[in-house]
């Protein structure tokens, strides 16, 4: 996919040559000046006339008409040099690759150093490039009839840079791994519910385990019954599809300690159960396993990059259906932890599955926990569709996850968890906990409920109900699943530092 070269040879033919351009009012110079000379001053002229734009993320295509060995030059606007950030350059590359892909071009040559500033060095630019290529060109392989016209995709990217070749290659590789794994998660979420059952998800996890030599454990319904996973089993009661408790283990250290537990909600379709969703609200509920997809995507990155960390991924998976056997409001169930739960809302099922998932992760030695879930509509009311809601019981662990989110550009905002929230969750005349204290602040109550099972283990909760999907295309992807939190989880794991006095 990528070739890295130190010197761009203008005598070599390319389908497309790409350069970054800052502040169009300045005189063209350096590499862009060389292109201007080859094109007999046309770059300067078109810049002055506004036909080539330096506006951030704006892409301008210029046909060279045989005056250059490159058939086309793509100018990628980067705005003011001092304002460039990693996120901006990644989105600019996203705009570029969407344009180039639409033009059916297979080979692209990129003058990397024209994108570099004092704020964003060559390695960051390379990572952004590697990540943006798969993200921006992602399409879901749908089930429509196909034409016989052969597809043309970007298959060869030549990167020219004066910076250390091996380090540029490494940054490209890391970025590409991040982008590809995010796309894997997108595809899992985009799959129809009848093609992504708990069994399908377990089979996918097995394939991932075989590819990356993870230790894999798949608990069947009978196993869960023996272990007392009554919370997950309650959600599954109405379904004809068997539940699965999916476990992937990656050991990057000699001893199994300082283990990070990633727990993903794997509800493959959510009707709401007897607290059934309205007809408009039920469409799209195939995406209710977005947390599981995020964890599996993160594990793909971990498998590719092999960090020196220990990670256990746990995914409680089932659908939530309505039948004569389904669990009901007023039922009481017993979780794996032994805590009993009064069911007030069968549509508050994700937290039940996560309760047993968190407990099982701890049994596998997890000393730090991060759960990820499309958990509540309340988080969308609070934060909108572009910010993930977060909660935590440990400041140091939360700061590490937050830093990873800043690094990857996946915004999150922390919600409070007070003693009053805990009292509301613990309020029941018949059980230790209730699963739905009310609609006021219910995103917080959902997280507080999960905290009851994390107990003293350092824990961070990520509610991606708003960020897991989008209704419109953007620089780094189409409408549909976004792969939210795949990169944040992976970056967190890569840079994780054990916490003293846990």
Encode burial over 367-386: b for 16+ CB neighbours within 10 A, e otherwise: bbbbbbbbbbbbbbebbeee
Q: What is the pLDDT of residue 101?
A: 95
CB contact at 8 A, 245 and 317: yes
pTM of the full structure: 0.96
What would the two tokens of residue 226 be?
């023996």
Evaluate whether 290 touches 481 at the Cβ level (below 8 Å): yes
Question: Does the fold of domain 188-495 match that of domain 2-163?
Answer: no
Q: CA nearest 339: which of 230, 460, 436, 235?
A: 230
pLDDT (0 to 100) of residue 25: 54
What is the per-residue pLDDT for 49? 87
Dist. CA 136–CA 153, nearest whole Å: 12
Provide the residue ranges of all domains of the chain, joining segments of one domain with +: 2-163, 188-495
Top CATH class, 2-163:
alpha beta
Closest CA to 354 of 472, 232, 499: 232
Q: How far apart are CA 363 and CA 353, in angstroms?
A: 16
| Residue linked to tokens 């999150």 | 412
> Is residue 162 helix, strand or coil?
coil
Whole-angstrom Cα distance, residue 286 to residue 269?
5
Record the tokens describing residue 314, joined without a space.
């746990």
Name the active-site residue from 57, 98, 244, 351.
Answer: 351
> What's the CA gap between 353 and 458, in Å, rounded?
19
Whole-Å CA distances, 409 to 59, 87, 206, 290, 486: 22, 6, 30, 18, 12
Contact assessment for residue 132 and residue 94, using Cβ atoms and an 8 Å cutoff: yes
Phi first, then psi, for residue 84 (nearest 5°) are -70, 135
**C-alpha–C-alpha distance, residues 286 and 198, integer Å:** 12
How much is the pLDDT for 30? 77
As given in the structure block, the two tokens for residue 167 are 């380090």
- Phi and psi angles of residue 88, each rounded to the nearest 5 degrees, phi first: -65, -45
CATH topology of domain 188-495: Aminopeptidase (3.40.630)
Q: Is there a catalytic annotation at residue 61?
A: no
pLDDT tens series, the chain, 502 aa: 899 998 776 667 889 999 999 986 556 777 788 888 888 888 889 988 889 999 999 999 999 888 887 899 999 999 999 999 999 999 999 999 999 999 999 999 999 999 999 999 999 999 999 999 999 999 998 888 877 777 788 999 999 999 889 999 999 999 999 999 999 999 999 999 999 999 999 999 999 999 999 999 999 999 999 999 999 999 999 999 999 999 999 999 999 999 999 999 999 999 999 999 999 999 999 999 999 999 999 999 999 999 999 999 999 999 999 999 999 999 999 999 999 999 999 999 999 999 999 999 999 999 999 999 999 999 999 999 999 999 999 999 999 999 999 999 999 999 999 999 999 999 999 999 999 999 999 999 999 999 999 999 999 999 999 999 999 999 999 999 999 999 999 999 999 999 986 5
Predicted pLDDT at 32: 83
Contact 10, 34 (CB under 8 A): yes
Beta bridge partners of 413: 389
Instruction: Tell me whether residue 351 is one of the annotated catalytic residues.
Output: yes
Which listed residue (277, 414, 422, 426) is catalytic?
A: 277
| pLDDT value of residue 10 | 64
Residue 314: CB partners within 8 Å, gap ≥ 6? 245, 246, 247, 261, 262, 263, 264, 357, 358, 360, 361, 364, 366
């Amino acid at each position: 996919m990528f070739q890295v070269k130190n010197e761009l040879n203008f005598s070599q033919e390319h389908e497309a040559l790409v350069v970054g351009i800052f502040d169009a009012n300045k005189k063209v110079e350096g590499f862009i000046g060389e292109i201007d000379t080859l094109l007999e001053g046309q770059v300067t002229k078109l810049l002055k006339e506004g036909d080539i734009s330096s506006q951030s993320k704006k892409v301008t295509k210029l046909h060279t008409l045989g005056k250059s060995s490159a058939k086309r030059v793509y100018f990628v606007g980067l705005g003011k040099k001092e304002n460039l950030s990693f996120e901006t350059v990644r989105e600019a590359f996203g705009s570029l690759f969407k344009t180039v892909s639409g033009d059916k071009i297979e080979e692209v040559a990129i003058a990397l150093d024209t994108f570099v500033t004092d704020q964003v060095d060559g390695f960051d630019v390379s990572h952004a490039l590697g990540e943006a290529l798969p993200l921006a060109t992602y399409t879901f392989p749908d089930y429509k009839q196909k034409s016989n016209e052969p597809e043309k995709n970007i298959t060869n990217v030549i990167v020219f840079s004066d910076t250390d070749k091996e380090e540029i290659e490494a940054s490209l590789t890391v970025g590409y791994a991040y982008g590809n794994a995010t796309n894997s998660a997108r595809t899992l979420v985009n799959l129809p519910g009848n093609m992504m059952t708990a069994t399908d998800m377990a089979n996918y996890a097995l394939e991932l385990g075989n590819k990356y030599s993870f230790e894999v454990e798949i608990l069947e319904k009978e196993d869960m019954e023996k272990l007392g996973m009554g919370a997950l089993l309650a959600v599954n009661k109405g379904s004809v599809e068997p539940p699965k408790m999916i476990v992937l283990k990656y050991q990057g250290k000699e001893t199994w300690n300082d283990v990070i537990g990633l727990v993903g909600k794997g509800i493959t379709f959510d009707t709401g159960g007897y607290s059934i969703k309205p007809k408009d609200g039920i469409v799209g509920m195939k995406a209710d396993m977005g947390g599981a997809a995020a964890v599996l995507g993160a594990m793909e990155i971990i498998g590719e990059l092999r960090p020196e960390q220990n990670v256990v991924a746990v995914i409680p998976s089932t659908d939530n259906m309505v039948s004569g056997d389904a669990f009901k409001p007023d039922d009481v169930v017993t979780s794996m932890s032994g805590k009993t739960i009064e069911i007030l809302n069968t549509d508050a099922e994700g937290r039940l599955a996560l309760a047993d998932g968190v407990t099982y992760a701890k049994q596998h030695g997890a000393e730090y926990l991060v759960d990820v879930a499309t958990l509540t509509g309340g988080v969308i009311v609070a934060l909108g569709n572009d910010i993930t809601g977060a909660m935590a019981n440990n400041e140091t662990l939360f700061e590490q996850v937050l830093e990873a989110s800043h690094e990857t550009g996946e915004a999150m905002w922390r919600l409070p968890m007070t003693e009053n929230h805990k009292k509301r969750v613990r309020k029941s005349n018949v059980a230790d906990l209730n699963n739905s204290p009310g609609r006021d602040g219910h995103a917080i109550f959902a997280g507080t409920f999960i905290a009851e099972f994390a107990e003293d283990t350092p824990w961070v909760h990520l509610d991606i109900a708003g960020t897991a999907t989008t209704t419109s295309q953007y620089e780094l992807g189409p409408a549909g699943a976004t792969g939210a939190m795949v990169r944040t989880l992976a970056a967190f794991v890569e840079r994780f530092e054990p916490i003293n006095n846990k």
